[in-house]
């Protein structure tokens, strides 16, 4: 029997999730059918229920539905509760919907695959939106020395940091409050999509620092190009995309796919 999965988004035609999960399924010998479904902006819950009624067993959720997915779940993982958002839905045997968020796990695993040590490091995270909220718990669990969230609106960064202070040393502020140097700088803003760069000082990086952009493309993003010019090692978010998908696949199929060949093929296709 072939189990059905999908990714919900709006728009969703650009999604690489179907190709990624098809590769995972082939590699692990799992019989799944995975599609991209554009859900209506005003009825995400209805789209999920319709998918379940047609035999759907689980789904990935991308923008703009991660908070809608959070609200419809019967049970949530602790990290999803923290994030206030869900990117992975699992239909239980009892017909209840379980929600998880795998973005933070994907980020941390990608950094680990690149040999980036998180423990004891000074980390700067740019942005204070949902994408950043979803990565903070796994990031803090890696026990960095400190995490600073910087955002155009300082108050938003401060409120976000306050929600995670029980997990470690974290604070928030405006871009003007950023004083380096940092070991790792993670761009969680959408500025790269518009070709923009947050206002950052030139002395942001320690020697040998890592610059990570949660966005990706065939070429370096504006942020990564700027960071590379200042001596940082640039890493884009394509690996995070594959790693978060692998964690979703594990939630559904209880098998860990080998992400390296899938990432390599995806990189070649950009």
Q: pLDDT tens, 116-159?
A: 999 999 999 999 998 999 999 999 999 999 999 999 999 999 99
Kindly list the catalytic residues. 66
Q: Which two tokens stand for residue 16?
A: 């690489």
Binding residues for NADP(+): 127-131, 151-156, 214, 237
231 Cβ contact partners less than 8 Å away, ≥ 6 residues apart? 205, 207, 208, 209
Instruction: Report the residue count for the chain.
Output: 270
- Is there a contact between 4 and 57 (Cβ–Cβ < 8 Å)? yes
Q: Which two tokens stand for residue 224?
A: 């990564």
Q: Which two tokens stand for residue 117?
A: 């040590």
Task: Sort strands 88-91 and 75-76 into parallel, antiparallel or unpaired.
Answer: unpaired
Check pLDDT > 80 for residue 222: yes
Binding residues: 15-17, 62, 87, 103, 127-131, 151-156, 214, 216, 237, 244
Longest dimension (CA), the chain: 57
Cα–Cα distance for residue pair 152/129, rounded to 1 Å: 11
- Is there a contact between 31 and 1 (Cβ–Cβ < 8 Å)? yes
The stretch 207-218 carries a mean pLDDT of 95
Q: What is the pTM of this model?
A: 0.95
40 Cβ contact partners less than 8 Å away, ≥ 6 residues apart? 10, 46, 47
Measured in whole angstroms, the distance separating CA 66 from the mean position of its chain's CA atoms is: 11
> Quick check: helix, strand or coil at residue 9?
strand
pLDDT at 196: 86
173, β-bridge pairs: 150
- Is there a contact between 239 and 263 (Cβ–Cβ < 8 Å)? yes
Query: DSSP assignment, residue 232?
Result: P
Q: HEC string of 153-211?
A: CHHHHHHHHHCCHHHCCEEEEEHHHCCCCEEEEEECCCHHHHCCCCCCCCCCEEEEEEE
The stretch 69-93 carries a mean pLDDT of 96
pLDDT at 180: 84
Check pLDDT > 90 for residue 195: no
Cα–Cα distance for residue pair 114/105, rounded to 1 Å: 14
Q: Which two tokens stand for residue 127?
A: 């942005």
- Average pLDDT value for the chain: 96
pLDDT at 239: 98
- Is there a contact between 134 and 144 (Cβ–Cβ < 8 Å)? no
pLDDT at 83: 93
pLDDT at 193: 75
- Is there a contact between 62 and 11 (Cβ–Cβ < 8 Å)? no
Binding residues for shikimate: 15-17, 62, 87, 103, 216, 244
Domains of the chain by start residue, with CATH: 3-101+240-269 (3.40.50.10860), 104-236 (3.40.50.720)
Q: Which two tokens stand for residue 70?
A: 């959070």
Cα–Cα distance for residue pair 244/108, rounded to 1 Å: 10
């Amino acid at each position: 029997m072939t189990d059905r999965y999908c990714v919900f988004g709006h728009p969703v035609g650009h999604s690489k999730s179907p190709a990624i999960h098809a590769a995972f399924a082939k590699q692990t010998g799992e019989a799944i059918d995975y599609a991209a479904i554009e859900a209506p902006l005003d009825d995400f819950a209805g789209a999920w229920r319709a998918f379940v009624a047609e035999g759907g067993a689980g789904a990935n959720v991308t923008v703009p539905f991660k908070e809608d997915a959070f609200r419809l779940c019967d049970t949530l993982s602790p990290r999803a509760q923290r994030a206030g958002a869900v990117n992975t839905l699992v239909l239980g045997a009892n017909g209840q919907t379980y929600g998880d968020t795998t973005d933070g796990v994907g980020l941390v695993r990608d950094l680990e695959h690149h040999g980036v040590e998180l423990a004891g490091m000074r980390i700067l995270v740019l942005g204070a939106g949902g994408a950043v909220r979803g990565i903070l718990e796994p990031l803090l669990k890696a026990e960095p020395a400190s995490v600073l969230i910087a955002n155009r609106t300082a108050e938003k960064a401060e409120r976000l940091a306050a929600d995670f202070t029980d997990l470690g040393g974290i604070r928030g502020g405006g871009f003007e409050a950023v004083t380096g140097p940092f070991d790792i700088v993670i761009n969680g803003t959408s500025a790269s999509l518009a070709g923009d760069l947050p206002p950052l000082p030139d002395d942001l990086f320690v020697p040998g620092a890592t610059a990570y952009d949660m966005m990706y493309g065939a070429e370096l993003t504006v942020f990564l190009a700027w960071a590379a010019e200042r001596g940082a090692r640039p890493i884009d978010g394509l690996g995070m995309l594959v790693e978060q998908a692998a964690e979703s696949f594990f939630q559904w199929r209880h098998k860990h796919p080998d992400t390296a060949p899938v990432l390599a093929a995806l990189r070649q296709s950009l």
